[in-house]
Chains A and B, each alone.
Chain A
Amino acid sequence: MPDAPGLELIRGEIEQHHPGAVLDTSLERDRAVLVIDAQHLLAVLNWLRETPGHEYRFLSSLHAADYLPAEPRFAIHYELLNRDRVERLRVKALLANPGKDALPEIDSCVELFPTAEFQEREAFDFFGIVFRGHPDLTRILLPDDYVGWPQRRDFPVGGEPVTFTYNERQYG
């Protein structure tokens, strides 16, 4: 893991090349996090992957999160790994809620990390986040004709009400 000064050094170096890309850093439970603007996602990931001395060449996980009612509402987490130094770095790209009918969009990183293909499809499947430039952005786990984005926080849980003695007036 980069420690706190190391994380700030990374932030400073990225700021030199891509001003305004890094919004914040955090170091919780020894996990270094770079909070970035989604506009600069590919530039930051490419820089972390290619720059000598960093070389985070392995994307070990990609996942989406819904922080409703916070704003920006969505975030995509990229868990990067350098396998020589066994150092992990998390990049968190913030995505604003584009409104009721539009879907949030972010660039696809399949070109940089081919393993992201299925994981981006999963994030699209459950959160309705559109990855621009993805080769085949379709549902992966849910049925193709499913309607809705079920892991969003405002999605109803589903199921059926079950009648018990204490609530039979309500449902009976």
Chain B
Amino acid sequence: MRERQLRARDMLRGDLEGEELERHVEEKVVLTSFEKMLGWARSNSIFPLTFGLACCAIEAPISIVTARYDLARFGAEALRASPRQADLIILSGRVSIKMAPVVRRLYDQMLEPKWVMAMGACSSSAGMFSNYAVVQGADKFMPVDIYVPGCPPRPEAVLYGFTKLQRKIQGNPDPGWRQRYNALGTEEWARGGPRSEPGAGDVDAYERARELTSA
């Protein structure tokens, strides 16, 4: 320990030379791109917004910060009470048409970069509330990064979605199940929906997934 500290001091002073310097650099220095480091830092220090919409709020953000599930393992234990300090908004529950402008306003008040998790069936697709009062999926009025299925999802599912979101923030999103199972082009759309055409990135991911599955 003492020896290593001394060596680091020597290097900073410029006293380290030749083979010793080479060895020190090899052991102590990691090279990466700035974007990767930024993504790593961001993904491990997310500040979620203290925000609950309905019954899903019992699972997240309430349960996942307790000692049993412990969101602090992923560096996100600092729930912020103000959207101006938060990075992540978890839509925990159904969004009624009266609440939608409020949610959108909260989202607009958050500072970039910001992420959205649609948690549970209701905020993803209105779930069982196919009626006049509930927005049919929160992605109708705001962008959503990750959808967590369930009614409500277990806290473990929320944490799983959280780790997926971390990988997305790091610029390395996991492929969806259609890419993993060679099922691109099988999307089903309700009446009036867009036609299912995979984008350019999807085709690459598809090829990669095919290589992985055949290997």
Contacts and interface: CB of A to CB of B under 8 A. Distances in A.
Contacts of B188: 163-164, 168, 172
B123 to A, nearest CB: 15
Contacts of A142: 97-98, 133
Interface string A155-167: 1111111111000
Contacts of A162: 125, 190
A158 B131 contact: yes
Contacts of B125: 162
Interface in B124-148: 125-126, 129-133, 136
Interface residues of B, number: 14
A172 B189 contact: yes
Contacts of A171: 190-191
A155 B132 contact: yes
A143 interface: yes
B191 A161 contact: yes
Interface of B, helix, strand, loop or mixed by DSSP = loop
Contact of B136 (A146, A155, A159, A168): A159
Interface in A120-172: 141-143, 146, 148, 150, 155-164, 168, 171-172
Contact of A159 (B97, B131, B189): B131
Interface of A: 141-143, 146, 148, 150, 155-164, 168, 171-172
Given A142-B98, A143-B97, A143-B98, A150 B189 contact: no
A164 to B, nearest CB: 8
A155 B133 CA distance: 12
Interface of B: 97-98, 125-126, 129-133, 136, 188-191
A142 B131 CA distance: 13
Nearest to B189: A163
Which one of A148, A156, A171 has the greatest number of beta carbons of chain B within 10 Å?
Answer: A171
B146 to A, nearest CB: 21
Contacts of A168: 188
A161 to B, nearest CB: 5
B212 to A, nearest CB: 28
A161 B190 contact: yes
Given A143-B97, A143-B98, A159 B130 contact: yes
Contacts of B129: 159
B126 A159 contact: yes
A61 B130 CA distance: 28
Contacts of B189: 163, 172
A158 B191 contact: no
Contacts of B98: 141-143
Contact of A157 (B97, B126, B132): B132
A142 to B, nearest CB: 7
